[in-house]
């Protein structure tokens, strides 16, 4: 379980997150929605430790990880699929996947079968360079690389952005498969509402660095959700 | 198509297209800004807001289309960045970029329009006009009380206002302002809307912003961009009720 308590985050003097409180549970997809520029990526950066919070706490599996560096969070099972994918263009697909070994113990350093059963295209392209893959294939590679780490918390930043519909479906299937394993807490940042609505168990909408709407799937008021996201 | 030479517009863009590596950042973008107008530009990521400003300021060249300034007098696609700045187009980027180690007042002084040749700079003494102009700007940006503090000690909002003041010091005809209220507190956001409304009484202003509370407060005509062209234009209420705009913001 991830528990985020009243975190604030600043870039210099500018405040990007204002008192965000949220939870993410294993076996659930927590969707973070909102227009561009409202702080969604800043929230993921805070959770991964890419940017220090100015106050508040982040508790993961009962331990306060607020002060930990990203690498130490990765060792505790937190994996991040950043917006824009950030795969290594000059490494092969296989080498890209192997970069996910970094936080693992020596005897755990293998690529789980799930990666190739979820994204068969990666298996057929193991020797290709990452940079030669299409955008959708790169997105699958980035998710695959995160899964190599055997994450218990998976952070996904707009995995559908600029991706063709058929691959969006594959990614959706992969996310629900991972959710149904019951072991992984998934935080999905999205602007594509229909995609998020299909997958989400919990919904948060952000605006101006704060959470302005939160609901479980069961209590979801679709009109209120849309109002919070639109202008 | 209107003949650009006969337009009354201060800024005239017609059919502007730009591609980067096959990605169409702007796709036949057309709009006009009238003299004295304030306009808010909104749109999701990748809508072309920044590229549009890059075109106007000469940072990026259009692949096709026309961009004219001052009633069609100047073809901006033929001028470089410096020439465009000298025509009176000032741009404020999103992040505040003030001289942190100088005082607030010196920051304005450095931005004042004037002779910047080596000789003039070496023998410079402040004139009464310059002091009057600085005081005028302090009146607008409301930072007179902190004029002798170093700029680095200002709050985020104050730094943004100082930079807007530095833009005013260049005496531009058109101000392009990119996301001025990102990271500001609610109070600062409100004050920024007031400040820009005051500036808009004497200058033409184009503001790009994501913060809808702020855009509402400006109360001006809104242009919503999407995939490099204009998706909707009108009051914020008209734009926010536009079905296509709603769809775009829901990611469809």
B137 φ/ψ angles, rounded to the nearest 5 degrees: -65, -40
Q: At CA B250, angle to CA B244 and CA B252, rounded to 5?
A: 65
Domain boundaries, chain A: 2-229
**In contact, A31 and A202? CB cutoff 8 Å:** yes
**Distance between CA A77 and CA B204 in Å, rounded?**
53
Express each pLDDT in B25-74 by its tens digit. Answer: 999 999 999 999 999 999 987 889 999 999 999 999 999 999 999 999 99
Q: Which CATH class is domain A2-229?
A: alpha beta
Mean pLDDT across A64-68: 97
Specify if B59 maps to a domain: yes
Residues B111 and B63 occupy one common structural domain: no
Nearest chain B residue to A207 by CA distance is: B211
Instruction: Determine how many CB atoms are found less than 10 A away from the CB of residue A56.
Output: 17
Residues B83 and B140 occupy one common structural domain: no
Question: A108 pLDDT exceeds 80?
Answer: yes
Mean pLDDT across A154-167: 91
Q: Which CA distances in Å does A212 have to A103, A206, B110?
A: 35, 6, 42
Residues B103 and B76 occupy one common structural domain: no
Specify if B101 maps to a domain: yes
Nearest chain A residue to B154 by CA distance is: A13
Determine, for residues B252 and A13 on separate chains, whether the beta-carbon distance falls below 8 Å: no
Q: Which two tokens stand for residue A19?
A: 């008192």
Residues B64 and B10 occupy one common structural domain: yes
CA distance A105 to chain B (A): 39
**Distance between CA A34 and CA B44 in Å, rounded?**
11
Residues B74 and B28 occupy one common structural domain: yes
> Of B31, B19, B37, nearest to B56 (Cα)?
B31
Q: Which residues of B touch A36 (CB under 8 A)?
A: 44-45, 210
Give pLDDT, residue B250: 87
CA distance A61 to chain B (A): 31
> Of B33, B107, B109, nearest to B68 (Cα)?
B33
List the domain range (segments joined by +) for residue B128.
96-173+188-202
Specify if B178 maps to a domain: no
Q: How confident is the model at residue B113 (pLDDT cuts 50, 70, 90)?
A: confident
Q: How confident is the model at residue A107 (pLDDT cuts 50, 70, 90)?
A: very high
Specify if B208 maps to a domain: no
CA dihedral of residues B136, B139, B143, B148 (deg, nearest 10): 40
Residues B78 and B117 occupy one common structural domain: no
ipTM over 0.85: no
Q: Which residues of B touch A208 (CB under 8 A)?
A: 211, 213
CA distance B215 to chain A (A): 10
Express each pLDDT in B148-193 by its tens digit. Answer: 999 999 999 999 999 999 999 999 999 999 999 988 989 999 999 9
Residues of chain A contacting B, Cβ within 8 Å: 10-16, 35-38, 160-162, 190-195, 207-208, 226, 229-231
Any idea what the CATH number is for the domain that residue B48 is in? 3.40.50.300
Residues B110 and B12 occupy one common structural domain: no
Q: Which CA distances in Å does A145 have to A79, A83, A148, A149, A186?
A: 9, 14, 5, 7, 15
Q: Which CA distances in Å does B184 have to A16, A44, B155, B158?
A: 9, 20, 9, 10
Is the CB of residue B22 less than 8 Å away from at least one CB of chain A?
no
Choose the mutation target among B210, B227, B248 for the interface with A, i.e. most A CBs under 10 Å.
Answer: B210
Of B44, B154, B250, nearest to A36 by CB-CB distance is: B44
Query: How many residue pairs bridge chain A and chain B with CB atoms within 8 Å of each other?
Result: 68
Number of domains in chain B: 2
Mean pLDDT across A153-178: 93
Determine, for residues A37 and B179 on separate chains, whether the beta-carbon distance falls below 8 Å: yes
Express each pLDDT in B188-228 by its tens digit. Answer: 999 999 999 999 999 999 999 988 999 999 999 999 999 99
Mean pLDDT across B103-116: 92
Q: Kindly state the greatest CA–CA separation across chain A.
A: 51
Helix (H, G, I), strand (E, B) or coil at A30: strand
Q: Which residues of A touch B45 (CB under 8 A)?
A: 36, 161, 191
CA dihedral of residues A114, A118, A123, A128 (deg, nearest 10): -120
Give pLDDT, residue B4: 58
Q: HSE (CB half, 13 Å, CA atoms) of A69?
A: 3
Specify if B110 maps to a domain: yes
């Amino acid at each position: 379980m991830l528990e985020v308590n009243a975190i604030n985050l600043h870039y210099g003097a500018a405040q990007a997150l204002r008192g965000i409180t949220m939870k993410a549970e294993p076996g659930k997809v927590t969707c973070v929605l909102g227009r561009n520029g409202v702080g969604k990526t800043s929230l993921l950066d805070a959770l991964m430790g890419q940017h220090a919070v100015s106050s508040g706490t982040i508790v993961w599996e009962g331990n306060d990880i607020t002060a930990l560096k990203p690498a130490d969070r990765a060792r505790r099972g937190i994996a991040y699929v950043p917006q824009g994918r950030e795969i290594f263009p000059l490494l092969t697909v296989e080498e890209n996947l192997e970069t996910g070994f970094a936080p693992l113990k020596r005897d755990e350093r293998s690529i789980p079968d799930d990666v190739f059963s979820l994204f068969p295209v990666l298996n057929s392209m193991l020797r290709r360079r990452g940079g030669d893959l299409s955008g959708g294939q790169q997105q699958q590679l980035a998710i695959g690389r995160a899964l190599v780490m055997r994450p218990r918390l998976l952070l996904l930043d707009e995995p559908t952005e600029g991706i063709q519909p058929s691959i969006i479906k594959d990614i959706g299937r992969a996310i629900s498969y991972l959710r149904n394993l019951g072991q992984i807490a998934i935080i999905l940042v999205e602007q594509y509402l229909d995609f998020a609505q299909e997958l989400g168990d919990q919904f948060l909408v952000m605006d101006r660095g704060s959470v302005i709407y939160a609901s479980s799937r069961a209590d979801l008021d679709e009109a209120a959700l849309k109002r919070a996201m639109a202008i | 198509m209107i003949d650009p030479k006969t337009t009354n517009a201060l800024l005239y863009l017609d059919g502007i297209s730009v591609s980067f590596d096959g990605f169409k950042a702007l796709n036949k973008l057309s709009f006009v800004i009238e003299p004295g107008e304030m306009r808010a530009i909104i749109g999701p990521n990748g809508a072309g807001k920044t590229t549009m400003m890059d075109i106007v300021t000469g940072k990026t060249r259009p692949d096709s289309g026309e961009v004219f300034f001052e009633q069609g007098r100047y073809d901006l696609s033929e001028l470089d960045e410096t020439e465009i700045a000298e025509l009176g187009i000032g741009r404020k980027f999103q992040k505040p970029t003030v001289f942190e180690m100088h005082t607030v007042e010196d920051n304005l002084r450095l931005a004042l329009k004037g002779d910047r040749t080596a000789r003039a700079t070496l023998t410079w003494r402040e004139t009464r006009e310059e002091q009057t102009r600085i005081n005028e700007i302090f009146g607008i940006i409301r930072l007179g009380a902190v004029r002798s503090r170093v700029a680095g000690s200002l709050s985020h909002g104050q730094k943004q206002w100082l930079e807007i003041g530095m833009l005013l010091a260049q005496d531009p005809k058109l101000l392009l302002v990119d996301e001025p209220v990102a990271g500001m507190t609610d109070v600062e956001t409100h004050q920024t809307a007031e400040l820009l409304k005051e500036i808009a009484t004497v200058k033409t202003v184009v503001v790009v912003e994501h913060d809808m509370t702020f855009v509402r407060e400006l109360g001006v005509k809104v242009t919503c961009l999407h995939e490099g062209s204009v998706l909707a234009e009108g009051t914020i209420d008209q734009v926010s009720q536009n079905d296509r705009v709603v769809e775009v913001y829901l990611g469809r």
